[in-house]
Structure 1
Amino acid sequence: MPTPHERFTALYNTYQARVYGYAASRAGHQLAEEVVSETFLVAWRRLDGIPDHAQLPWLLRVARNILRDNFRRAARRDALEAELRTWVEEAVADVGEHATERVAVLRALAGLSEADKELLTLTAWHGLSTVEAAKVLGCTKAVFFVRLHRARRRLRSAIEATGTGTFQKPVTAPGRKPR
């Protein structure tokens, strides 16, 4: 009976090119390598669950799920970026006394990494407690506080870099009251 390493190596050597071809036809060559890597990582983890009579369909289903998840992540990211752009555009048109600060905050937020945006928006815009936000991110409350502190510091630096002054108010969604 072959060892798990031998079974995996045979599976990889037999189907890697076909999984790559499937991924490349669905998402292009640039993303195909990543999809193949993730597909065979799942295969390694679930090696005993791969049916002997349907190995290629099983691998292609895994690759399809990975592609679907990648497309969903990209769609969520694009939707958030579009929403942030809309908020910035609305803020530019706002004639309120704090319009300049609002624009600076929204522009600074739009320039942060996805991870920093998520940290800041989970509590400030989505109204989650720190415990709930930590659960969403899969970390402890203490780790969440450290990450949130660093994200706020980067936001302050980005706001100050715009030359509009210092960070004085909590970031809230347009139309929401600060906590």
Structure 2
Amino acid sequence: MTPEDSFSDFYQRERTRLLRFAAVVSPHLDHESAVQEAFVGAWRHWPTIDETRRRAWMVKTIRNLLVDQSRRRERPGEVTDEVAARHRGTFRILVQRDRDPETWQELNSTFAAIADLPDRLRTALVLRFWDFGDDEIADVLGCRRETVRRYVTEARARISEVVGNQERRARRSRRGEGRS
């Protein structure tokens, strides 16, 4: 397979996942341009990027580009029309359109809770959701794989505290009942 074919396959397979990752970790920034700029960088360095670490390389690059964006512009402290419009665009990327209002409310609460997480917890959780392995996430965050597991657990607990779907908690607590 030529390097061009390899890059094209990678782009087709990972583009949507990386867009969604960027949208969740920084919904207030221009995540689409960050992803595209990362792919341009990957194309330039494609032969030198270790094949087993390409997704991690992309995520690190996207995170750095988003950090650069956030340094160039001030993050709004309150929800303005511009921020709300960007969030609606982000949610369209992330979820299907035909959801009932109750589900949309839960999704909005969940996305807000994710956005409020510290960067390391948010990144670990989102990458885990997109099926990144512990080693890949550890590579992105520059930590050990045991730390990744702790970050994901802590992120889930914090989101559960904020969003807390009581019905799901009740079902989970009854899983062990009736077994001997």
- Give the number of the structure whose alpha-carbon radius of gyration is greater: 1
TM bin, normalised by shorter chain, reads 0.3 to 0.5
Q: Give the TM-score of the pair, scaled to structure 2.
A: 0.39
Q: Give the TM-score of the pair, scaled to structure 1.
A: 0.40
- Structure with more contact order per residue of length (Cα contacts < 8 Å, sep ≥ 6): 2
